[in-house]
Amino acid sequence: MFRTTRVPLVRAVLAALLALLAVACGKEGSPPVKGPAENKLPHYQVDRGFQLPESRIWTRAKKRGYLRVGVKEDQPYLGERDPATGTYSGFDIEIARMMAASLGFEPKTIRFRTIASANRETALQNGQIDFYVGTYTINDKRKRLVGFAGPYYLAGQSLLVRKDEDDIHGPEDLAGKRVCSAAGSTPYQRIKADFPKAVLVAYDTYSVCVDNLLTYQVDAVTTDDAILIGYAAKVPEELKVVGKPFSEEPYGIGVPRGDNALRLALDDALEAGEKNGDWKRAYDATLGLSGVPAPKPPAIDRYPAS
């Protein structure tokens, strides 16, 4: 008799303890965590009948059964990987999912792969990835090496400094200052060419630059405003974005050069997403969390094959 009543009692106590633990861990009653909420993310209609035999990349991916997409993993709101689950999230990730759906790939058949700024062209040229979505500025120099669909967003170069910094308001204040950026990026190149008195420091990723800024190893981090806003939002009591953007950084989807069929299919997919509201829904659920309302996406540039 004693034994039969005891087990349910132990269970009830355990259940109560678990419920308490859940509240203590913030599952209930705590403010929402910053970042895309899974249930707010759009679901993109997979075009199951889609065919693109004239694209070498698409045909291979279809045979293989999955897409390999290059992205970033340390850029809040844009491309971020949760180290606990391995899940990627952010605006660029949503653009990649939207593109995959248009090309006829189910969400579970996308394999994201983190590729740093300096390695994008090589990854596309070597066939390590099918396309790349990660704050990738379209420019003529890169167009000689890879193709670009888009643009799908327009960013601008800016500066991130510590909250107590009073001397840096724009790139002209960087003379003699230690400035960090990612190797192989356009912001790095621009400081080198236009503000040679700045003391440039390069790392593979911007998150390492931000660590260096927080520990007083550098005085500023420079890259696109969209990226810097995300870092500032993580530690608003320590960091701030200053000045006005001083460049135009149109984001494109990098594809292997020569696969014009794939590039133009991605242009179509972006245009369709902008028209049917997917683009705006993706933005609102990710980059929009930074507080910047959705801009009008830039016009797609379907440049001729070269």
Binding site for ligand GLU (CB under 6 A): 117, 134-137, 182, 185-187, 223-224, 249
Task: Quote the distance between the C-alpha of residue 160 and its chain's center.
Answer: 18
Least CB distance to ligand GLU at residue 252 (A): 9
**Do residues 245 and 260 lie in contact, with contact meaning Cβ atoms separated by under 8 Å?**
no
Cis peptide before 151 (omega within 30 of 0): yes
**Do residues 274 and 162 lie in contact, with contact meaning Cβ atoms separated by under 8 Å?**
no
Least CB distance to ligand GLU at residue 91 (A): 13
Task: Quote the distance between the C-alpha of residue 284 and its chain's center.
Answer: 14
At how many degrees (to 10) do helices 278-285 and 91-102 cross? 150
Decide whether 58 or 153 has the Cβ nearer to ligand GLU: 153
Decide whether 42 or 151 has the Cβ nearer to ligand GLU: 151
Decide whether 55 or 181 has the Cβ nearer to ligand GLU: 181
CB atoms near residue 172 (< 10 Å): 13
Decide whether 46 or 233 has the Cβ nearer to ligand GLU: 233
Q: The sheet that has 79-81: what strands, in order across it? A: 74-75, 79-81, 88-89
Least CB distance to ligand GLU at residue 295 (A): 16
Least CB distance to ligand GLU at residue 59 (A): 28
Task: Quote the distance between the C-alpha of residue 189 and its chain's center.
Answer: 21
Decide whether 161 or 182 has the Cβ nearer to ligand GLU: 182
Decide whether 245 or 288 has the Cβ nearer to ligand GLU: 245
Decide whether 36 or 134 has the Cβ nearer to ligand GLU: 134
Least CB distance to ligand GLU at residue 166 (A): 26
Least CB distance to ligand GLU at residue 136 (A): 5
Decide whether 135 or 286 has the Cβ nearer to ligand GLU: 135
Least CB distance to ligand GLU at residue 65 (A): 29
Least CB distance to ligand GLU at residue 147 (A): 15
At how many degrees (to 10) do helices 91-102 and 260-276 cross? 110
